[in-house]
Amino acid sequence: MEYMLTTENLSKRYGRFRALDGCTMRVEKGAIYGFVGKNGAGKTSLIRLICGLQEPDHGTYTLCGIKNTDREIHKVRRRMGVMVEAPSIWPDMTAEENLRQQYRILGLPSMEGVRELLEMVDLRDTGRKKAGHFSLGMRQRLGIAVALAGSPDFLVLDEPVNGLDPEGIIEIRELLLKLNRQRQITILISSHILDELSRLATHYGFIDRGRILREISAAEWERSCGRHTRITVSDMTALSRVLEERQIRYTVCSDHAADIYDRLNVTDLVTALACENCRVETIEEREDSLESYYVNLLGGGRHE
């Protein structure tokens, strides 16, 4: 398994406040990693550390296999694009001028790619309009374009959809999916808007009080507590036999109820159970939210 980012027991204090407390996490290459936690849980502190804005008090991290104590770490950081807390843009410049300025800061030899970036974030027609007059969604997209200058492999975004209207959220979502799928950019995105995050992420890391509570892939989450069908029957033994014959994934909830996680042909199932003298009482579609999963984690609940 190749990782874009790993951390080992990272700790960081600000006075008496422990922002990170032995934080250990793994971000696979090619993933969209949803970094979930309340305000003050440690998300922004970790992002600041891996960006080199601050140093950890204890622990280590690696970027693309290079340890933070290695003198080559600054070269690896040039392969990162970052937007922390707010877009890094100049309000008195146009979108194109902002990108050209970022190219100069990075020391890039030519401005080739500026127009392509503007096209990618749908800001090609903003002309001479200053960024200070952009809508919030436009500023967020410009901030992402600035982070993409230099063609990074790893994009780190801190609350990129905060405050956006539904249309703006959809625009950011579609942009991030395109970057991940078409350009194979690994994305770490911190957010507390969990419903939106569940439409994007391939992996999740849940943090609280500076510690990772759990890491899980989106596929694992879907299997364990995502969309499923709850069925209640008169004979659980018969239901288990029928489901296993069809190699349908399920978990037993009680003596008369089970959750089914594969696509279901209801007519076939009911007919097969009738042949087993098993009566179907109810069938209902269910979907546990990412928010409920996180709340259960905080409260000590289990999702096995």
Q: At what angle do helices 95-106 and 136-148 cross, to 10 degrees?
A: 30
CA distance 103 to 2: 29
Rounded CA separation 293/296 (Å): 5
Outline where 184-246 has alpha helix (H): 194-197, 218-225, 236-245
pLDDT for the residue numbered 303: 39
Nearest of 42, 84, 65 to residue 213 by alpha carbon:
42
pTM of the predicted model as reported, rounded to 2 decimal places: 0.79
Q: Are 45 and 199 in contact (CB under 8 A)?
A: no
Which pLDDT score is estimated for 301?
A: 39
Q: Please say if the pLDDT value at position 2 is more than 50.
A: yes
Q: How far apart are CA 100 and CA 24, in angstroms?
A: 37
How does DSSP assign 241-281, residue by residue? Answer: HHHHHTT--EEE-SSSEEEE-S---HHHHHHHHHHTT--EE
The whole-number pLDDT of residue 226 equals 61
CA angle 70, 74, 76 (to 5 degrees): 90
Burial class (CB in 10 A: 0-12, 13-18, 19+), 220: middle
94-134 pLDDT, tens per residue? 999 999 999 999 998 889 889 999 999 999 999 999 999 99
pLDDT tens for 202-245 read 999 999 999 999 999 998 887 766 677 899 999 999 999 999 99
